[in-house]
């Protein structure tokens, strides 16, 4: 099944994919995201990448650097951010969420997989997969693999792959993009010491697993922070979660698709989000979307009418009706004329509403 799909990564300051930028995977140049809440520079790397844009490098020098070369990491979400308002350490979370229930679509073995993830990836991970809007978040301070604390009031990032951010990038690698090491610049190290945050990655993670320590920490307004989230467990080529002693094929369950009886979606999404859970404010989103290859043209552009392509609301009536017929397996049937056309139109409007297309631009719909 996986060979029928192609992956695209987008990112933005909100969930709506129509407001996102396409992330140039494995390139050195980070994208920038700026909102009233935060400024962000972002790089995404995926090992043996075969997705969009079609010109994307298949790998990054990042994976040849320690510790990634030894641990065989499969992907990285590296970001440098500067809050525009202070955020309490117990409120800033990073993880996955969904805008629809998945409780009836969880794959066999999910409970075992979740226990292993908490053991080997993120002991602070918590959430509710049985909620109407399920989520799995961990405190950002303990969830990210690398935390580099920068200066207050300094440069928050770069839009060029030939320069490195002056505040939190401690290793310059022009071909790899944003590279962070645990610690900080001179001012950041002093700030870290004053707050009692341990120097090493493992000790820092353990420190912030304590709720009282998180509450005593503040992500300061105007200070830059460099973070990297990576692991060797999620394989984006085979679409499998490979944990120690346990492998879970996720292709047919990606985005909760496994047990659906209705016609399947033509795209599926997995999203990572950094958010302030106290105010329920989304700070930035990284969206991994699988498209059927037939829904992407030769130049790598997602075709009109497909989630992530031109929203149906922007298409002509005839084009919309044709798309809905094709999507629901009716493309080989001729449309009836006369009064039946009105009935068909009403039926298609119901299908359209059922599939979450009313208004257009929904990135992750049932």
pLDDT at 364 over 50: no
Distance, CA of 192 to CA of 201 (rounded, Å) = 13
pLDDT at 282 over 80: yes
Query: Can you give the pLDDT at residue 242?
Result: 86
pLDDT at 316 over 70: no
Domain residue ranges of the chain, discontinuous segments joined by +: 2-295, 312-354
What mean pLDDT comes out for the span 147-157?
76
Beta-sheet pairing, 240-243 with 246-249:
antiparallel
Name the residue with higher pLDDT: 305 or 241. 241
What mean pLDDT comes out for the span 166-174?
48
Could you report the per-residue pLDDT of 197-224, keeping only the tens digit for each? Answer: 999 999 999 999 999 999 999 999 999 9
Token output for 38: 């935060």
Token output for 222: 């105007």
What mean pLDDT comes out for the span 29-50?
97
The least confident of 153-157, 288-292, 298-302 is: 153-157
pLDDT above 70 covers a percentage of the chain that reads: 72
pLDDT at 99 over 80: yes
Element (H, E) at 352: helix 339-354
Q: Average pLDDT of the chain?
A: 80
Distance, CA of 20 to CA of 33 (rounded, Å) = 9
What mean pLDDT comes out for the span 303-307?
76
- 191 and 184 in contact (C-beta within 8 Å)? yes
In SS3 terms, 88-142 reads as ECCCEEEEEECCCCCCCCCCCCHHHHHHHHHHHCCCCCEEECCCCCCEEEEEHHH
Name the residue with higher pLDDT: 225 or 238. 225
Band (pLDDT 50/70/90 cuts) for residue 252 is low
Query: Can you give the pLDDT at residue 106?
Result: 78
What mean pLDDT comes out for the span 73-96?
98
Distance, CA of 253 to CA of 268 (rounded, Å) = 9
Band (pLDDT 50/70/90 cuts) for residue 130 is confident
Q: Is it true that the peptide bond before 167 is cis, omega within 30 degrees of 0?
A: no
Distance, CA of 188 to CA of 194 (rounded, Å) = 10
What mean pLDDT comes out for the span 282-287?
98
Distance, CA of 158 to CA of 282 (rounded, Å) = 22
**Alpha helices by DSSP H, 140-222:** 140-143, 186-194, 201-208, 211-215
Query: Can you give the pLDDT at residue 254?
Result: 58
Q: Which of 99-113, 118-132, 133-147, 315-329 has the highest mean pLDDT?
A: 133-147
CA atoms within 13 A on the CB side of 319: 11
The least confident of 43-47, 232-236, 309-313, 362-366 is: 362-366
Query: Can you give the pLDDT at residue 47?
Result: 96
Largest CA distance in the chain: 77
């Amino acid at each position: 099944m996986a060979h029928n799909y192609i992956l695209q990564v987008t990112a933005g300051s909100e969930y709506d994919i129509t407001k996102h930028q396409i992330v140039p995977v494995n390139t050195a140049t980070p994208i920038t995201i700026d909102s009233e809440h935060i400024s962000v520079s972002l790089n995404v790397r995926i090992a043996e990448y075969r997705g969009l844009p079609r010109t994307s490098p298949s790998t990054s020098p990042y994976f040849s650097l320690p510790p990634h070369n030894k641990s065989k990491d499969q992907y990285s979400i590296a970001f440098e951010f500067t809050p525009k308002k202070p955020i309490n350490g117990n409120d800033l979370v990073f993880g996955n969420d969904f805008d629809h229930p998945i409780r009836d679509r969880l794959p066999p073995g999910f409970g075992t997989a979740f226990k292993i993830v908490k053991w080997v990836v993120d002991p602070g991970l918590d959430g509710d997969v049985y909620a109407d809007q399920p989520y799995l978040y961990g405190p950002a301070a303990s969830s990210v693999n690398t935390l580099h604390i920068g200066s207050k009031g300094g440069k928050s990032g770069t839009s060029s792959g030939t320069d490195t951010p002056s505040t939190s990038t401690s290793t310059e690698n022009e071909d790899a993009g944003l590279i962070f090491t645990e610690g900080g610049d001179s001012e950041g190290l002093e700030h870290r010491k004053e707050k009692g945050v341990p120097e090493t990655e493992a000790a820092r993670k353990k420190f912030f697993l304590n709720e009282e320590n998180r509450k005593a920490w503040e992500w300061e307004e105007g200070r830059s922070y460099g973070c990297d989230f990576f692991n060797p467990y999620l394989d984006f080529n085979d679409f499998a979660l490979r944990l120690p002693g346990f492998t879970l094929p996720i292709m047919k369950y990606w985005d909760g698709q496994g047990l659906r009886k209705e016609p399947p979606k033509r795209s599926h999404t997995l999203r990572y989000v950094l958010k302030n859970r106290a105010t329920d404010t989304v700070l930035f989103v990284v969206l991994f979307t699988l498209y059927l290859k037939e829904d992407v043209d030769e130049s790598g552009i997602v075709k009109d009418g497909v989630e992530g392509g031109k929203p149906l609301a922007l298409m002509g009536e005839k084009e919309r009706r044709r798309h809905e017929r094709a999507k629901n397996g009716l493309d080989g049937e001729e449309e009836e004329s006369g009064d039946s056309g009105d009935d068909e139109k009403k039926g298609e409007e119901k299908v359209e509403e059922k599939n979450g297309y009313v208004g257009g631009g929904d990135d992750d719909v049932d």
